[in-house]
Each structure stands twice: as C-alpha cells, then as structure tokens.
Structure 1
Amino acid sequence: MQTLLEALSRDHYPNPPATSAQIAEAEARLGWRLDADLRAFYLHCDGATLFRRRPDAKYRILSLSEIERARVRMRGEDDDSMGAATWYTLLYCQDSDFVLVDVAQPDGPYPLLDAFHETYPLHVRQIARTFQELLQRALRIGNKLFWLRD
C-alpha cells in the first residue's frame, strides 16, 4: 500500500492527510471502522483525484466528510429497497456514478462495488476485493474505469 500511496502523491492530486481525530469522527458518524487499506489512505490523504484535477476527474476518491450511505446519496432514501445498509459511497466517477465500499464484514477487508446510477441498486457488482486492489488496478490502467468494457 505504501508504494501506491507514494505514486499517488507523486503523480496525482491528493488532499492533505486526515487527522486521527477526523478518522475517529468519521467512524463514529458512519457507524463502522475503516479497514487497514482505507485507514492508510486517509492518514496519507483525505481524498484525492487521479489523473486529472476536479471537475474533470473520473476517479475522485471522496474525503471522509463526503462518504455516506449509498442509498441515501444515490436515491435519497434510507430504505432497504434502495440498497444494502452496508454500502457506502467511496469514489465518485462523474455523472452520479460511484464505487461503493461494502462494510458488511466487520473490520474488513472491504470489497468495492460498481454502482451505475441508472441501474442502482438492482445491478451492483464487485470490482475489487480491497481498496488496495482498486487503487493498484486504477493506477496501472490509466484514466479509464478498468471495470468497464470498451
């Protein structure tokens, strides 16, 4: 993970690091603990854009304050018919599309899910087993959403 974070700082657009207090506040607000990958990321930077700056970034990893339950962010309702209570927004991909983190497994590692706004919550699929895998694949392929076919 450290090598990926160094590459992110060198070649991309990280925000300043989150403090331990900010992480504790986010965990209390969200009701779950960051797994090891996410904790390392947020201690390194409290969100980032990859490849391009905002607003043109396809990969915008949300700051701690922007993470929220996916069904609330994507459908405006905190109801089980609008997606699992354990799915949270983590990465914004433009056009109201997100990558979600599924926090169902306490303390992780947490899988990452593709959440296309037009088919959410009916068609959500896993695209990475961990945040580290997602970051590694994204940095390797370049400014393309690696889980989408051409």
Structure 2
Amino acid sequence: MPTNMQRLLTEISQHHFPNPPATPAQVAAFEARVGWTLDEDLRAFYLHCDGAALFKPWPDTNFWILPLAQVRRGRVAIQGRDEDANGPPDWYALVDLQDTDFVLVDVAQRTGPYPMRDGYHGTFPDPGHTKIIAPSFGTFLEKALASGDDFFWLD
C-alpha cells in the first residue's frame, strides 16, 4: 500500500468514524456483483474500513463513504433508474453527500486508478457538469480530509 494511503487510513481511524473492515470475501463478492475490480486505493480503504463517515458521525456527516453493500450505479442512486437515459453505467455512487448528491467513481476504463466525479443531482448526468474532481480515490480522500468538512471542488 502506498505510504500516503496508509497515512490517510490512519487519520480516518484516529479522527473520523470508520466502519469495521470488509473481509476479502466481501470484497470478492462486491467485485463479482458490480463486474469491476477495486483499484489499489479503494481495496486498501475497504480492507481497512468498510465505509466511513468523515468529520461527523452518520447521519450528520457531509462525507459518508458508502460500505460496499451500498455502492451502486450513480444513475440508480441519483435518478432511481438503471437505464442508459439516466446516466452512464460505469459511474458508481461511492460517497453520499446527503440530499441525493454523491461523489461517483468512474470505472469506464476498468483499470485503476479510477477518477472521481461530482454527482450533483440537479445536473446529473450532464457530462459538462459531472466533472472529474480527483484523479483517484486516494487524491479525493486526501483533499476531503484536508477540507475541514467542505466540498473542496465547489467554488
């Protein structure tokens, strides 16, 4: 595991609200369910904690990194339908920002690191507004932890 990711995971354990770790069997079941494999950062995160609330405990958190069992296509999480008209099939809701807004992991390339996208429900799935906000989950996590509980990608 990269040193930076280990530092971020230590910070989550010490200052935030992590869930217990996912087991390797849970990770394998998740990958079989969604049809893509976790990249190095996501695998390290989920084997460390199967989801986490940052800054405040759930349900009061602005950043709720979903447990594997709750990760689903962004179009289902935001629009309620698993149809192509409701968004790309390769964008998955990974971080619940409350109020039907999410940070999405874009797994279209099928190999990591996967970019992270802004999943604002008001403009989803318009690609002009569903912009990449971090090139990887590790970068997203680093920026989120440094944000002081603000959505760092918003002006």
Q: Which TM-score band (shorter chain)?
A: over 0.9
Which residue pairs with 2:141 in the alignment? 135
> Contact 2:77/2:100 (CA < 8 Å) preserved in 1?
no
Letter in 1 for 2:7: T
Aligned partner of residue 29 in structure 2, secondary structure: helix
Letter in 2 for 1:146: F
CA distance in 2, matches of 1:23, 1:112: 20
Which residue pairs with 1:92 in the alignment? 96
1:120 to 111, 124, 142: 124
Q: How many pairs were matched up?
A: 149
Aligned partner of residue 72 in structure 2, secondary structure: coil
Which residue pairs with 1:23 in the alignment? 27
User: What's the TM-score, normalizing by structure 1?
Assistant: 0.97
Q: CA deviation at 1:23?
A: 0.2
Gaps of 5+ in 1: none
CA distance in 2, matches of 1:118, 1:18: 32
Structural mapping, 1:57-76, within 5 Å: 57-76=61-80
CA distance in 2, matches of 1:9, 1:99: 21
The list of structure 1 runs, each at least 4 consecutive aligned residues, that deviate by more than 2 angstroms after superposition, is none
> Contact 2:91/2:107 (CA < 8 Å) preserved in 1?
yes
RMSD: 0.8
Q: For 1:27-64, what per-residue CA distance to the aligned partner results, in whole angstroms no more than 9, with x for missing partners?
A: 01111100000000000000000000111100000000
Q: For 1:14-34, what per-residue CA distance to the aligned partner results, in whole angstroms no more than 9, with x for missing partners?
A: 000000000000001111100
Aligned partner of residue 40 in structure 1, secondary structure: helix
Which residue pairs with 1:48 in the alignment? 52
Identity over aligned residues, as a percent? 54
Gaps of 5+ in 2: none
CA distance in 1, matches of 2:80, 2:55: 30
User: What's the TM-score, normalizing by structure 2?
Assistant: 0.94
Aligned partner of residue 8 in structure 1, secondary structure: helix
